[in-house]
Each structure stands twice: as C-alpha cells, then as structure tokens.
C-alpha cells in the first residue's frame, strides 16, 4: 500500500480521507464562523488612544538645589530611575484615579448607574482597563488612555500629567511643613537653653568652659535656622516636577478593536475546534466498531 508515514499514528492518506469526508461540514462551519466574527468585530465599541510622555525631574528639594553652598546636583537634571518609579506610583495612585473620575465625571461617561451598589468596583475596572502608565526606554513616563471619544482620551492624559505636579507638590509641602514644625520647636528650645547659658556666663565671665559651650550652641542654632529657612522655601515655592516631552492629542485613527485579528481568530479558531471534535468523534466510532 502506497502510504507516506509521518509517525506511528499519522498518515497522509488518512488525513486526505478525513478532509474528503468532512469538507462540506468544515466549509459550512468556517463560513458561518467567518460571518459571525465579522459581525462581532463591528459590534465591539471603537476606542481611540492618546498618550502623553513626560520626564520626571530630580526629586531633590528645591532649597538643596538652589540654596546649597555646593551645587552637587543640578536642579535642571532629568530624574533618576528612582524618580521615574516615584512618578509611576503617583500617576497610578488612587488619589490620581479619584481626581480623574471626579474631573471628567467618568461614572456617567462609562454609563454606570449612580444607584448601582457596585458602582465603585465597576468604575475602577473601567478606569484601569482604559488608563495605563508605564516607563519608557529612557526613563520617561508614558500615560496612555483609551476612550470612545478621542478628545476625552487626550484630555484625560494631559490632565493626569498636570495633576501629577499638584500631587507631587502636595506631598513635598506636607513633608516640609511637618519638618518645619519640628525644627521650630527644637529651635525655640535651643534659644531658651542658650539664653540660660548666656545669663550664667554674665554671672561668671571667667568660666571658659561655659564660654565655649555658648559658642558651640550658637553655631548649632545658626545651622538649624539655616535648615529652617531652606525648608520654608520648600513649603512656599511652587515648581514643576516634570518636563513635557509630548502632550496628548486627539487620535484620528482607532486603536481598538483590531477587526482583522478578531475575524481571523474567530473563524480559524472555530475551524480548528471543529476539526478536533470530528477527529475525536471518528476515533470513538472506530473504537466502537472494533
């Protein structure tokens, strides 16, 4: 018998015989799956993608960059890998999500009913599915937004980049404010102690050890007052924590769905499943006949 074997359980003749006996069914299944996939691809909501790209600035304090005696770090430098990770964390935070949802009324935009007991869960699912933040190859941060409205997608991406400054500034000011209050209390105590030492020295000016202690405490107080002045700068100044690279613009071409992929996967996937089922059915039939 002329037969070309490709394994113990496979032969070209049996394969040809299989497709000859089932070609009508397979053709019908493929055409139906193709038609259904085409219809399904046009039923999927079209979404547009807009992206904004920024470089985080150096996360060092403004006062250290501008007022420090030694300029070991340039305030105009791009941020490090750590600064990039900080930026991604802030842009992906719940605070950012809440600000975006409130600013653009995404609950209504995503057609989620206000009285739905799971509205926050659904809103979070829609948001995380449409908004992504990732690091670029050169330590930049890309904010990508998918939406049915191309203008809305661009507006959300740009708002997130702008609000990143607001959140970063709030974090910096809160930390500086707490530090300033602590230093202010310590400074008041040091001034009080120094006044007591000065009064003691006035009573006994021959005490050289007391004179040296006053000098040492005075230097400590001056250093602390300098740090307080630097911290005050961090509290009061409004600076940007990013460099814009690309602002988001409304897309003129859809990003989703990829209809060709949907059609190919749907039609050929169904065809493969059908072939497997027929193979199993034929194997079971042969087993019973034996």
Tell me the per-residue pLDDT of 48-106, one tens digit each, with 9 for 90 and over: 999 999 988 765 555 555 445 544 444 455 567 888 888 999 999 999 999 999 999 99
In a domain, 191, yes or no: no
Q: Provide the β-strand partners of residue 146.
A: 49
In a domain, 172, yes or no: yes
Domain coverage including residue 169? 48-177+238-246
Average of per-residue pLDDT across 14-28? 83
Q: What is the CATH number of the domain that holds 59?
A: 3.30.1890
If one counts the domains in the chain, the total is 1
Q: Which two tokens stand for residue 60?
A: 């060092």
In a domain, 104, yes or no: yes
In a domain, 91, yes or no: yes
Spatial contact of 156 and 147, defined as CB atoms under 8 Å apart: yes
Q: So what's the pLDDT on residue 172?
A: 78
Confidence check: pLDDT of 218 > 80: yes
Q: So what's the pLDDT on residue 158?
A: 95
Mean pLDDT, all residues of the chain: 81
**In which band, very low, low, confident or very high, does the pLDDT at 127 lie, cut at 50, 70 and 90?**
very high
Alpha-carbon torsion, ordered 48, 166, 88, 45, to 10 deg: -20
In a domain, 70, yes or no: yes
In a domain, 290, yes or no: no
DSSP-assigned states of every residue in 10-67: -BHHHHHHHHHHHHHHHHHHHHHHHHHHHHHHHHSPPBEEEEEEEEEBP-S-HHHHHT
In a domain, 85, yes or no: yes
pLDDT in tens, 155-185: 999 999 999 988 888 877 777 777 778 888 8
In a domain, 182, yes or no: no
Higher-confidence position of 151 and 16: 151
Q: So what's the pLDDT on residue 152?
A: 95
Q: So what's the pLDDT on residue 102?
A: 94
Spatial contact of 21 and 232, defined as CB atoms under 8 Å apart: no
């Amino acid at each position: 018998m002329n037969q070309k074997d490709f394994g113990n359980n496979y032969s070209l003749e049996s394969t040809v015989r299989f497709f000859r006996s089932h070609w009508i069914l397979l053709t019908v299944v493929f055409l139906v799956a193709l038609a259904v996939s085409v219809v399904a691809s046009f039923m999927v909501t079209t979404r547009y993608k807009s992206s904004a790209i920024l470089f985080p600035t150096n996360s060092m304090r403004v006062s250290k960059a501008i007022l420090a005696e030694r300029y070991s770090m340039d305030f105009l430098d791009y941020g490090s890998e750590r600064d990039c990770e900080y930026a991604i964390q802030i842009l992906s935070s719940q605070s950012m999500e809440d600000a975006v949802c409130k600013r653009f009324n995404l609950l209504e935009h995503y057609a989620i009913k206000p009285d739905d007991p799971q509205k926050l869960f659904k809103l979070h699912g829609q948001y995380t599915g449409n908004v992504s933040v990732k690091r670029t190859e050169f330590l930049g941060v890309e904010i990508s937004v998918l939406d049915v409205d191309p203008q809305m997608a661009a507006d959300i991406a740009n708002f997130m980049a702008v609000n990143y400054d607001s959140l970063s500034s709030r974090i910096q000011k809160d930390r500086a404010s707490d530090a300033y209050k602590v230093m202010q209390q310590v400074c008041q105590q040091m001034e009080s102690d120094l006044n007591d030492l000065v009064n003691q020295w006035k009573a006994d000016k021959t005490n050289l050890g007391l004179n040296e202690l006053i000098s040492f405490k005075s230097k400590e107080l001056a250093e602390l007052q300098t740090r307080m002045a630097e911290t005050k700068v961090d509290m009061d100044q409004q600076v940007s924590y990013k460099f814009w690279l690309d602002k988001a613009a409304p897309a003129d071409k859809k990003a989703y769905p990829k209809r060709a992929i949907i059609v190919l996967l749907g039609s050929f996937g169904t065809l493969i499943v059908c072939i497997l089922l027929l193979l199993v059915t034929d194997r079971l039939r042969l087993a019973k006949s034996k």
